Amino acid sequence: MVIIFQSKPSIIASAAVAGPLERKSVFYSYFDSVVEDERWHQTTNEQGNAKMIEEACQILLKKANLNNLDIDFFLAGDLVNQMTPTNFAAKEIAASFIGLFSACATSVSSVIIACLLTELGASKYAIAGASSQHNSTERQFRYPIYYGAQKPATAQWTVTAAGFTLIGKHNPKNPSIVAATVGKVVDYGQTNPFHMGAAMAPAAYDTITKHLEKRKQTIKDYDVIMTGDLGKIGLEILKRMFAETGATQEELNIFRDAGAEFYGEDKSFLAGASGAGCSASVYFSYILQQLKDGRYKRVLLVATGSLLSPLTFQQGETIPCTAHAIEVTME
């Protein structure tokens, strides 16, 4: 389903924060704050995740010169069971809150709903975004942090990061969201939780082709089409899927992936970064900055999410995936 936003809601402000290992990220200089402690000086990982969300939102409000009473809606999610870190952070932010889960695609799905509420006139300012914390995600989906299991080269590294945006009425000085595509759930029968890129690539392909088709655009209409966390191998698979359907090399160079680039060429992160905070922190810092600096005029941000749980994986189910896209322009 492709949505055209007539009022073109704008991203008034944005904030990205990250954990200690994210110093190694190539996007490090774009982050607003990097904390030394993975747990954000809290007792548990989950509290740390909540604190990270709070801090990102505080920075966001400060940048926009607002306080939390000005916020109409808080739309966010994370990867922990029942999204408790976001729930606890929402308690502090004290705006009307809906928790959203699209796994790692929450960064974009939350923005889409914020834009809809803005277009409807129901929201003057809405905070939208997502976060992930490495330790709390890893212990839930895979193994304890200190367990020495060998990960294959296709595995990705969940980042500790959060990215949040403030969505408001159209403002020509800010990047604006002109259209969005809410993705379907796509499942090509992949079952390996250490190879999520391959599972998510078809979802990204489906969403991107639908968006281009409905908008009567070609790949070249964009300065960059950036997927969320396909990783190095997933991005190659996506590019090959477009190559098979007739995209030229020049067009393929427009495709980028936040997860594949996040940690640069560091081999110890295997296929690259993943997690809801990966796409959120890159989109809402680096990409928005490029738009503001005038380097990009039109970008398509396609956050991908694999909708598995430890339960479904153990029960032998496949990994259903989704991808949501927003088309962001700068006048």
Tokens found for residue 299: 């970008």
Q: How far apart are CA 79 and CA 252, in angstroms?
A: 31
Extract the runs of DSSP E, i.e. beta strands, from 35-187.
73-77, 96-99, 126-132, 157-158, 161-168, 176-181
38 binds other proteins (CB under 8 A): yes
Q: Which of 61, 178, 208, 233 binds other proteins (CB under 8 A)?
A: 233
Which residue number, 44 or 218, has a Cβ lying nearer to other proteins?
Answer: 44
Q: How far apart are CA 252 and CA 249, in angstroms?
A: 5
45 binds other proteins (CB under 8 A): yes
Which residue number, 2 or 21, has a Cβ lying nearer to other proteins?
Answer: 21
Q: How far is the CB of 213 from other proteins (least distance, A)?
A: 14
Q: Which of 269, 283, 286, 296 binds other proteins (CB under 8 A)?
A: 269
315 binds other proteins (CB under 8 A): no
23 binds other proteins (CB under 8 A): no
40 binds other proteins (CB under 8 A): no
Span from 67-75, 105-113, 162-170, 239-247 in contact with other proteins (CB under 8 A):
239-247
Q: How far apart are CA 90 and CA 54, in angstroms?
A: 8
Q: How far is the CB of 162 from other proteins (least distance, A)?
A: 16
Q: Which of 4, 44, 82, 309 binds other proteins (CB under 8 A)?
A: 44
Q: How far apart are CA 250 and CA 240, in angstroms?
A: 13
CB atoms within 10 A of CB 315: 8
CB 51 within 8 A of CB 204: no
65 binds other proteins (CB under 8 A): no
Note the helical H segments in 22-81: 45-64
Q: How far is the CB of 214 from other proteins (least distance, A)?
A: 18
**Of the candidates 107, 60, 30, the residue with the CA atom closest to the CA atom of residue 286:** 30
CB 273 within 8 A of CB 233: no
Which residue number, 29 or 43, has a Cβ lying nearer to other proteins?
Answer: 43
Q: How far apart are CA 109 and CA 101, in angstroms?
A: 8
Here's the x/- map for other proteins, 90-129, by CB under 8 A: it reads as ----------------------------------------
User: Whose structure tokens read 């109409």?
Assistant: 72
- At 324 the three-state DSSP class reads strand
43 binds other proteins (CB under 8 A): yes
Residues at the contact surface with other proteins, assessed by CB under 8 A: 19-21, 37-39, 43-45, 134-135, 139, 143-154, 157, 160, 188-190, 195, 198, 201-202, 205, 233, 236-237, 240-241, 244-245, 268-269
